[in-house]
Amino acid sequence: MFLSDDGGKSWQQSSRGLAGRDILSLQQADNGALFAGTNHGIFRLESLTGSWVPVKMILGSMPESQTMAEAQPAKSGSSKSAVANKRRSGLAKTKVPAEAVISSANAPRVRSLQIREKTWFAATDEGLFISVDQGERWYGQAVEGEREFSVVNSYDDGAVTLAGIKGAYLSRDNGKTWTSVVLPKYVGGVYSLTSTPGALWLGTPQGALRSADGGQTWQYMLGGLPRNDVLEVVYDSVSQRLLATALHSHAVFQSKDGGKSWQSTPKAEVSIRTALNYKGRLLVASAYNGLLLEQAD
């Protein structure tokens, strides 16, 4: 990992503890800690001068005690003590089965991380992993029978979108239940599923598709977009526009009319994978040639 504290003018490497692992996704928690999804597990960095340490990844569904603690935090005072005593009493009577903790060497490939206030998500090749304790423990399992996922996105309204090689999935309750998205027959794979104001978007090898009815029906979208290999469509809330990228494109596509028409930025010298708004300018990640920042007007 490389980091900058001067707006990207200079960079320094921070990879101690990763043991040569590749970082595939990166997120920062509210407390400043960094979390990296690597080709072997999730790692945490508490201080920029410290070392990366692996977090606990567990195969299996999250225990009910974890979800209850996340949904109903203990109250202060005597009530808190009563809850603690009740939990200890219950634990004494019921033997808790051992958790299937994954070793760092055998940890899954983590392609995408999403950190929200309470629930965190990780898309891996061994299922969707979820944490509700600020990244201390991650529990993973299949979703609708599928385990290999590439991209997960979560939103303020509790929606979560999940994409894998074989399909896409949608949750409206913060990952508690899932619905498989019915794809048009001509779609041969999925790069991404994203939620934007008023619509869902699919990035596929066959191009971009838009749904205005929650994924029940899909419309093939052009209007300036590439016909094939649209990687993702995301909403830039600062500039109130849609941003799209394509597999072999050297430009970013922008729309301010909900995706009806698109305008291309000037082409870069390298292909572009992702784009976001950084202080009013586009910051993009190339496939293999680092970051690029849009020139100021």
Q: Give the chain's domains with CATH numbers.
A: 1-63+96-143 (2.130.10.10), 181-297 (2.130.10.10)
> What average pLDDT does range 249-253 have in this prediction?
95
pLDDT digits (tens, 9 = 90+) for 82-105: 544 545 555 445 565 678 899 888
Closest to 137 (Cα-Cα) out of 232, 213, 62, 79: 62
Contacts of 9 (CB under 8 A, 6+ apart): none
pLDDT digits (tens, 9 = 90+) for 63-81: 876 655 555 544 444 444 4
Query: Cα(291)–Cα(279) distance, rounded to whole angstroms?
Result: 15
pTM of the model: 0.84
